[in-house]
């Protein structure tokens, strides 16, 4: 239905796309609530939330952004939660063997990560590389993608041999998980916006994430959730 | 693509934006061209600036300027009852601002190139200034104005960055075709992206051929 | 009696001319060598060029007074002008060219007046021609029609017949003469053709490089 | 901003791209203007298409066309020893493609508007076709060509989407100023974004005033 | 002896003229009423307009043969032409206008030749003037210089003296006459001025609407 609005509009970081679509499908089936998603970069979505975007829920992989929204009075403080932790994974281009682990990256050509200047997965990837002491030497071969979804696409186009991306986006394909100990946790934060405060569907969506089914879906997509 | 909403929205937004930018841009270009001052090219350079900013950044500044927290945005809301940003009006504003510099610069060049002697002779014939503009200057500058409007339309139709910031990417409400294409690319939905691009291209070709013909001087 | 007073110094980079004469109802011919400032004088009268100093005045209507920086807009001078090179609006039909110069009436009236005017100069068959492909003589006919269509007080004709054959010249000369008499016009006519002078001139202003030009007999 | 690399890179890339797009665009515009055929405006509409595609989509197609797996990209690599994409050459290509349609359309309109009779008289004087173009057509179309080049430069300087796709965002290597500004906006680093935008704007104003003066017809 | 053969039908929307005449070395005057096709004939000879049918030939060099669809480029016809409305390149100086028409030599030589040519037409003082502000007569002098500067075989002059005063006319007429004799030129001159015919014409081609025009006396 084109012009019929969803019951709740969720603005969410790109790494949640696949998992959220599935959770929304469950919610629609079970409670008849339709969820409309606006996926984008956490940074740009934050600016929009701050300037009056009609989003009921804001989801970011960067806790600081959510804090900022709450501090600016655009988010309901009590609703703020960290609902999952994201993980990194290595993928490789078609025809390129998967690296066994992060240590072996020096044998590959270009490596793509999300831009650590603003993308949480980029920050994490940088930390992981740094903790192995590889970052400086790798820097000139690094491509900084706009966001994790872009990073996946650059690998798919064959323009980078290897990508360090969100596990949640590559769960269905060959990948190597990056040990979570190599970087700070990528905490997925959620908050109901001031606009969405009175929207029951917004609350139901947040609950759905925290429900048993929701957590099952998230963990299937590679997010770490507190054991149900 | 099984959802035609982005197509209609894009058509509507880009046509309205082109008309607004066309009228406004030609008026500004006319004033700049007739303004015999060294400042004219400085002002012209400044109005060209929106092109130099990445559209997203332009959109960011527009959002700050027109958002619900800005005084402009608040006046709009109190006048029209709904906010300007994240609505179709917002999309029109973003597309208009993106298109305007193209119209201005191309039209200004064409208007400046019109032979002043022909305009003089029209004044001596007794035509008032606005009729000189309508009967002589603008028709003789038509091709250049047409080029500006064509570029402006293309820019308005294709705008992604500014629209996505100012109007959002709200499916069924403010999701224009370029935004939908971008979204499809992000989602890895190549088929939709390809169809969307083709449709965009097809519309553009039809409209651009039409615009070019419309502004080609006859006689 | 109505009179156009011209007492100006017209200057452009590298050239200046002083003109001082009064033109009454009738034809005043401006004569003199090429490059002596005849067209510049007409430009000053028409308001296209601002004189460096001096006054142009139609009776008590000041067209321009350089000292007081008064310059009446061209549109308000009630002129009809035919340029040395016709200067038609090439992108409009001959009929439109003439109709645009008609100063009053609605669109239909203007077109009627324009058509009648084209008839008077023998150019009715050209009404819908492609203006830029008119022959030299045809352009001059249309330009003359355009000059008289606005029912002006002052008629400025810059070599109006130069591309015409002898028969056409005689015919249009007669037309100008009768119009001037009929409408009590003040006409300034630039010409190199002695026949024009003989047939039309009520007085002649002689241009000579370096001298103030003024009305002789 | 404490790192001036993006500024120099942007300047270099946009200047080279403007020169390439200027020469190529004016040549294409000339051919289109002289080509007496109904197809000319269709071809013109097609070359305008890069404007209509969201830059990232354009970049995506460019990447497919020129990437290391494409035959074009491979020929480039075997010729020059390094890939075209994700290098500064790639940034130049992206900026050139973005600028080209603006040059073409504005120049085409101006060239078409040149009085054919003046060109004819130059032929009768004995000037060969290329001299007619150089001595008559292009000088008389200078203002419109200048407008196209100014728009093309602004577009090349400001390009973000296509550059980021084709050249990547490799700090110290292919990170241009608009990309840096965009990154700053994303990161919520308003100060850097503002400084970057101001610098971009300042360069643009200086260059645009210069270009406008350069192409203003004298005499 | 050299001869230019013209035997064509020149047609434009709404008008056609049949012209059949041979012009030998010397001056052939094309005379006739306004709109009778004189300028169109010159356009056909210059290669600007393609005749509907017929042949134009300079000795055995075919300028154009409509039946075989042969049309020599204007550039290769070795013409010098002065247009009815001068048609100078307004964006270049008078000197450049003339120098561009010089067909051989390096830039310096061309400029020297151009300057000499401007001297011959009495326009050396205009060499660096602003072309678009030249007076009517000044333009015609420069246009004539441009027409003869290329050392052409065929000279096409369309009302070349119409804006000049009598003295200048006589002077330039004499120049054309001597050039034609000296360089053995074939000149086609359109004029409405009987004095031109008297002083210049070796033969006259009369244009009359509806009739094939051909050389008389
Ligand atoms: N805008 C201008 N700038 C510089 N010089 C000019 C300008 N307009 C005219 N002139 C010069 O002023 C002089 C007088 O020009 P004007 O056109 O009045 O001559 P004219 O008497 O009409 O001559 P003609 O009979 O040849 O038309 C000429 O030498 C001309 O070159
Ligand atoms: N391209 C064209 N399209 C249509 N009609 C044209 C075209 N060129 C000329 N004509 C018409 O053809 C006729 C002959 O024109 P031409 O210019 O040869 O006349 P001319 O003999 O030179 O007259 P004049 O002495 O007035 O210059 C005119 O009626 C003119 O309007
Ligand atoms: Mg004059
Ligand atoms: Mg003629």
- What distance in Å separates the CA atoms of residue A35 and residue A201, rounded to the nearest whole number? 8
CB atoms within 10 A of CB B149: 26
For the segment D14-60, what is each residue's pLDDT rounded down to a tens digit?
999 999 999 999 999 999 999 888 888 888 888 888 888 877 778 77
Kindly list the residues from chain E whose CB atom is less than 8 angstroms away from the CB atom of residue D127.
Answer: 75, 100
- What distance in Å separates the CA atoms of residue C95 and residue A124, rounded to the nearest whole number? 77
For the segment C63-79, what is each residue's pLDDT rounded down to a tens digit?
999 999 999 999 999 99
Q: Which of C37, C189, C209 to mutate to test the pocket of ligand 1 (most atoms within 8 A of CB)?
A: C37
> What pLDDT score does C215 carry?
66
Nearest CA-CA partner of C38 in E165, A111, A19: E165
CA of E12 to the centre of ligand 4 (A): 14
Tell me which ligand sits closest to the C-alpha of residue D120: 2
Output phi, psi for E209, to 5 deg: -55, 135
Long-range contacts of B13-17 (CB under 8 A, 24+ apart): B13/B88, B13/B91, B13/B92, B13/B95, B13/B156, B13/B163, B13/B176, B14/B95, B14/B153, B14/B156, B14/B157, B15/B153, B16/B92, B17/B92, B17/B95, B17/B96, B17/B98, B17/B99, B17/B152, B17/B156
For ligand 1, atom 24, name the residue with the nearest CA. C34
Confirm or reject: Cβ of C162 under 6 Å from ligand 2: no
For ligand 1, atom 29, name the residue with the nearest CA. C35
- What distance in Å separates the CA atoms of residue A205 and residue A211, rounded to the nearest whole number? 10
Taking a C-beta distance cutoff of 8 angstroms, is the pair A58, A83 a contact?
A: no
> What pLDDT score does B1 carry?
45
Mean pLDDT across D90-111? 93
Rg (CA), chain D: 19
Q: Locate A12 and state its tokens.
A: 């969410």
**Scanning every residue of chain C, which has its alpha carbon at the shortest distance from the alpha carbon of B119?**
C89
Residue D172 touches chain E, beta carbons under 8 Å: no
What's the burial of C198, exposed, middle or buried (CB within 10 Å: 0-12/13-18/19+)?
A: exposed
Q: Which of E19, E32, E33, E40 to mutate to test the pocket of ligand 2 (most atoms within 8 A of CB)?
A: E40
Minimal C-alpha gap between D188 and chain A (Å): 7
- What distance in Å separates the CA atoms of residue B40 and residue B60, rounded to the nearest whole number? 28
Residue B158 to residue D52, Cβ atoms within 8 A: yes
CB atoms within 10 A of CB C14: 9
What's the burial of E68, exposed, middle or buried (CB within 10 Å: 0-12/13-18/19+)?
A: exposed
Interface B:C, Cβ pairs < 8 A: 54
Confirm or reject: Cβ of E94 under 6 Å from ligand 2: no
Residue A145 to residue D85, Cβ atoms within 8 A: no
**CB-CB: which of B124, B129, B217 is closest to C91?**
B217
Higher pLDDT among residues A4 and A151, named by residue: A151
pLDDT class of E214 with cuts at 50, 70, 90: confident
pLDDT class of C1 with cuts at 50, 70, 90: low
Query: Residues E31, E34, E40, E46: what is their CA dihedral angle, to the nearest 10 degrees?
Result: 50
Nearest CA-CA partner of D204 in B41, B64, B21, B152: B41
For ligand 1, atom 9, name the residue with the nearest CA. E133
Kindly list the residues from chain A whose CB atom is less than 8 angstroms away from the CB atom of residue D173.
Answer: 140
Cα B30 vs. chain centroid, distance in angstroms?
17
Residue A118 has pLDDT above 90, yes or no: no
Q: Mean pLDDT across chain D, nearest whole number? A: 88
Q: In what order do the strands lie in the sheet with C203-206?
A: C70-71, C61-65, C53-58, C3-12, C15-24, C213-215, C203-206, C26-31, C186-190, C154-158, C79-82
pLDDT class of A1 with cuts at 50, 70, 90: very low
Kindly list the residues from chain A whose CB atom is less than 8 angstroms away from the CB atom of residue D184.
Answer: 117
Higher pLDDT among residues E216 and D22, named by residue: D22
Taking a C-beta distance cutoff of 8 angstroms, is the pair A88, A113 a contact?
A: no
Residue A158 has pLDDT above 70, yes or no: yes
- Burial code (b: 16+ CB inside 10 Å, e: under 16) for B99-130 equals bbbbbbbbbbbbbbbbbeebbbbbbbbbbeee
Minimal C-alpha gap between E169 and chain C (Å): 10
> What pLDDT score does D36 carry?
81
**CB-CB: which of B128, B217, B219 is closest to C75?**
B128
Compute CA distances C159 → A33, B154, C34, C85, E163, whole Å: 86, 50, 12, 9, 7
Work out whether the CA dihedral A30, A34, A40, A41 comes out positive or negative.
Answer: negative
D87: CATH: 1.10.3720.10
What's the burial of C171, exposed, middle or buried (CB within 10 Å: 0-12/13-18/19+)?
A: middle
> What pLDDT score does C217 carry?
46
E to A contact (≥3 Cβ pairs closer than 8 Å): no
B30 sits in which H/E element: helix B5-34
**CB-CB: which of A1, A2, A17 is closest to B187?**
A17
Taking a C-beta distance cutoff of 8 angstroms, is the pair D152, D102 a contact?
A: yes
ipTM summary value: 0.90
**Scanning every residue of chain D, which has its alpha carbon at the shortest distance from the alpha carbon of A112?**
D168
Q: Which residues in E have their CB inside 8 Å of a CB on C?
A: 12-14, 32-35, 38-39, 84-85, 129-130, 133, 135-138, 140-141, 158-159, 162-169, 192, 194
For the segment C174-200, what is each residue's pLDDT rounded down to a tens digit?
999 999 999 999 999 999 999 999 999
For the segment B70-119, what is each residue's pLDDT rounded down to a tens digit?
899 899 989 998 889 999 999 999 999 999 999 999 999 999 999 999 99
Taking a C-beta distance cutoff of 8 angstroms, is the pair D86, A143 a contact?
A: yes
For ligand 1, atom 27, name the residue with the nearest CA. E136
Q: Locate A29 and state its tokens.
A: 């089936």
**CB-CB: which of A41, A65, A142 is closest to D170?**
A142
Kindly list the residues from chain D whose CB atom is less than 8 angstroms away from the CB atom of residue E47.
Answer: 123-124
- What distance in Å separates the CA atoms of residue D133 and residue B144, rounded to the nearest whole number? 19
The SS3 assignment for C51 reads: coil
Q: Mean pLDDT across chain C, nearest whole number? A: 92
pLDDT class of D84 with cuts at 50, 70, 90: confident
In A55-198, which residue ranges form alpha helices assigned H by DSSP?
A: 63-71, 120-131, 135-138, 148-156
In B49-170, which residue ranges form alpha helices assigned H by DSSP?
A: 55-66, 71-80, 88-112, 116-124, 129-132, 138-140, 142-158, 161-166
**CB-CB: which of D63, D86, D187 is closest to A110?**
D86
Q: Percentage of chain E with pLDDT > 70?
A: 97
Q: Mean pLDDT across chain E, nearest whole number? A: 92
- What distance in Å separates the CA atoms of residue E166 and residue E161, rounded to the nearest whole number? 9
Output phi, psi for B119, to 5 deg: -65, -40
CA of C161 to the centre of ligand 2 (A): 17
Confirm or reject: Cβ of E48 under 6 Å from ligand 2: no
The SS3 assignment for B41 reads: helix
Confirm or reject: Cβ of E156 under 6 Å from ligand 2: no
Confirm or reject: Cβ of C163 under 6 Å from ligand 2: yes
> What pLDDT score does D73 carry?
86
- What distance in Å separates the CA atoms of residue D76 and residue D74, rounded to the nearest whole number? 5
> What pLDDT score does A5 carry?
64
Confirm or reject: Cβ of C77 under 6 Å from ligand 1: no
Q: Mean pLDDT across chain A, nearest whole number? A: 89
Q: Locate C86 and state its tokens.
A: 């016709």
pLDDT class of D213 with cuts at 50, 70, 90: confident
Minimal C-alpha gap between A187 and chain B (Å): 22
Residue E137 to residue C34, Cβ atoms within 8 A: yes
> What pLDDT score does D219 carry?
53
- What distance in Å separates the CA atoms of residue B76 and residue B83, rounded to the nearest whole number? 7
- What distance in Å separates the CA atoms of residue A168 and residue A178, rounded to the nearest whole number? 12
Taking a C-beta distance cutoff of 8 angstroms, is the pair D50, D97 a contact?
A: yes
For ligand 1, atom 8, name the residue with the nearest CA. E133
Tell me which ligand sits closest to the C-alpha of residue C158: 3
Confirm or reject: Cβ of C13 under 6 Å from ligand 1: yes
- What distance in Å separates the CA atoms of residue E42 and residue E6, rounded to the nearest whole number? 10
Q: Locate C102 and state its tokens.
A: 């008609």
Q: Which domain holds residue D36?
A: 5-218
Nearest CA-CA partner of E9 in E71, E77, E56, E74: E56
- What distance in Å separates the CA atoms of residue A164 and residue A102, rounded to the nearest whole number? 9
> What pLDDT score does B218 carry?
60
The SS3 assignment for E156 reads: strand
Q: Report residues of chain B scoring pLDDT below 50.
A: 1
Higher pLDDT among residues E217 and A44, named by residue: A44
Place of tokens 């008032």: B128
CA of B175 to the centre of ligand 1 (A): 63
Residue E168 to residue C34, Cβ atoms within 8 A: yes
Instruction: List Cβ neighbours of E18 (8 Å cut-off, separation of 6 or more).
Output: E8, E9, E212, E213
Domains in chain D, number: 1
Considering the entire predicted model, what is its pTM? 0.91
Taking a C-beta distance cutoff of 8 angstroms, is the pair B97, B162 a contact?
A: yes
Residue D109 to residue B147, Cβ atoms within 8 A: yes
For the segment C131-170, what is each residue's pLDDT rounded down to a tens digit?
999 999 999 999 999 999 999 999 999 999 999 999 999 9
Nearest CA-CA partner of A185 in A105, A36, A83: A83
Residue D167 has pLDDT above 90, yes or no: no
Kindly list the residues from chain B whose CB atom is less than 8 angstroms away from the CB atom of residue A40.
Answer: 164, 169
Place of tokens 């993106």: B98
What's the burial of B210, exposed, middle or buried (CB within 10 Å: 0-12/13-18/19+)?
A: middle
For the segment A61-104, what is each residue's pLDDT rounded down to a tens digit?
989 999 999 999 999 999 999 999 999 999 999 888 998 888 88
- What distance in Å separates the CA atoms of residue B62 and residue C119, rounded to the nearest whole number? 61
Confirm or reject: Cβ of E136 under 6 Å from ligand 1: yes
Question: Which range among A75-89, D66-80, E137-151 shows the weakest confidence by mean pLDDT?
Answer: D66-80
For ligand 1, atom 17, name the residue with the nearest CA. E135
Q: Which of E10, E33, E37 to mutate to test the pocket of ligand 2 (most atoms within 8 A of CB)?
A: E37
Residue D130 touches chain E, beta carbons under 8 Å: no
Give the best residue of A94, A108, A146, A151 to mutate against chain D (max D CB count within 10 A): A146
Tell me which ligand sits closest to the C-alpha of residue E192: 2
Instruction: List Cβ neighbours of D31 (8 Å cut-off, separation of 6 or more).
Output: none
E40 sits in which H/E element: helix E38-46
Kindly list the residues from chain B whose CB atom is less than 8 angstroms away from the CB atom of residue D165.
Answer: none
């Amino acid at each position: 239905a084109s012009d019929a609005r969803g019951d709740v509009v969720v603005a969410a970081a790109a790494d949640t796309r696949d998992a959220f679509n599935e959770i929304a499908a469950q919610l629609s089936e079970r409670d008849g609530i339709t969820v409309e998603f606006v996926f984008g970069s956490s940074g740009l979505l934050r600016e929009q939330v701050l300037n009056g975007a009609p989003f009921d829920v804001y989801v970011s992989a960067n806790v600081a952004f959510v804090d900022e929204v709450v501090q600016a009075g655009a988010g309901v403080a009590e609703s703020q939660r960290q609902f999952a932790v994201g993980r990194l994974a290595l993928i490789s281009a078609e025809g390129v063997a998967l690296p066994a682990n992060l240590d072996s990256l020096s044998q590959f050509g270009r490596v793509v990560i999300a831009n650590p200047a603003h993308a949480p997965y980029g920050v994490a990837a940088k930390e992981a590389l740094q903790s192995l002491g590889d970052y400086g030497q790798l820097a000139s071969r690094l491509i900084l993608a706009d966001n994790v979804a872009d990073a996946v696409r650059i690998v798919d186009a064959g323009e980078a041999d290897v990508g360090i991306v969100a596990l949640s986006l590559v769960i269905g394909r060959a990948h190597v998980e990056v040990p979570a100990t190599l970087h700070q946790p990528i905490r997925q934060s959620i908050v109901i916006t001031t606009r969405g405060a009175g929207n029951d569907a917004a609350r139901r969506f947040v609950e759905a994430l925290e429900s048993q089914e929701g957590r099952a879906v998230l963990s299937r997509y590679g997010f770490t959730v507190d054991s149900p | 693509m099984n959802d035609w909403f982005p197509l209609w929205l894009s058509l509507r937004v880009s046509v309205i934006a082109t008309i607004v930018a066309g009228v406004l841009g030609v008026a500004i270009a006319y004033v700049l061209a007739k303004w015999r001052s060294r400042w004219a090219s400085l002002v012209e350079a400044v109005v060209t600036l929106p092109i130099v900013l990445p559209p997203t950044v332009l959109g960011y500044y527009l959002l700050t300027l027109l958002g619900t927290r800005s005084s402009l945005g608040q006046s709009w809301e109190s006048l029209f009852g709904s906010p300007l940003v994240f609505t179709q009006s917002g999309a029109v504003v973003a597309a208009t601002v993106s298109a305007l510099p193209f119209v201005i610069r191309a039209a200004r060049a064409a208007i400046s190139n019109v032979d002043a002697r022909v305009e003089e002779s029209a004044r001596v014939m007794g035509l008032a200034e606005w009729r000189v503009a309508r009967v002589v200057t603008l028709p003789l500058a038509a091709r250049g104005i047409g080029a500006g409007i064509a570029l402006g339309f293309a820019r308005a139709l294709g705008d992604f960055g500014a629209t996505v910031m100012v109007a959002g990417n709200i499916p069924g409400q403010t999701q224009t075709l370029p935004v939908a294409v971008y979204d499809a690319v992000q989602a890895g939905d190549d088929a939709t992206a390809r169809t969307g691009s083709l449709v965009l291209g097809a519309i553009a070709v039809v409209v651009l051929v039409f615009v070019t013909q419309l502004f080609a001087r006859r006689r | 009696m109505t009179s156009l007073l011209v007492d100006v110094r017209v200057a452009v980079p590298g050239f200046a001319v002083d003109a001082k004469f009064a033109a009454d109802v009738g034809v005043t011919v401006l004569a003199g060598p090429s490059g002596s400032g005849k067209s510049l004088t007409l430009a000053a009268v028409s308001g296209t060029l601002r004189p460096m100093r001096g006054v142009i005045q139609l009776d008590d209507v000041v067209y321009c007074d350089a000292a007081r920086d008064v310059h009446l807009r061209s549109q308000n001078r009630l002129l009809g002008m035919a340029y040395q090179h016709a200067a038609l609006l090439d992108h409009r039909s001959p009929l439109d060219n003439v109709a645009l110069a008609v100063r009053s009436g609605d669109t239909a009236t203007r077109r009627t007046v324009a058509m009648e005017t084209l008839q008077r100069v023998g150019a009715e068959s050209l009404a819908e021609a492609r203006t830029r492909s008119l022959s030299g003589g045809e352009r001059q006919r249309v330009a003359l029609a355009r000059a008289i269509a606005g029912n002006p007080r002052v008629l400025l004709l810059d070599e109006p017949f130069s591309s015409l054959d002898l028969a056409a010249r005689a015919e249009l000369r007669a037309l100008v003469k009768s119009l001037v008499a009929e409408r009590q016009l003040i006409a300034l006519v630039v010409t190199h053709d002695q026949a024009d002078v003989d047939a039309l001139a009520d007085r002649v202003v002689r241009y000579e490089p370096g001298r103030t030009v003024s009305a002789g007999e």
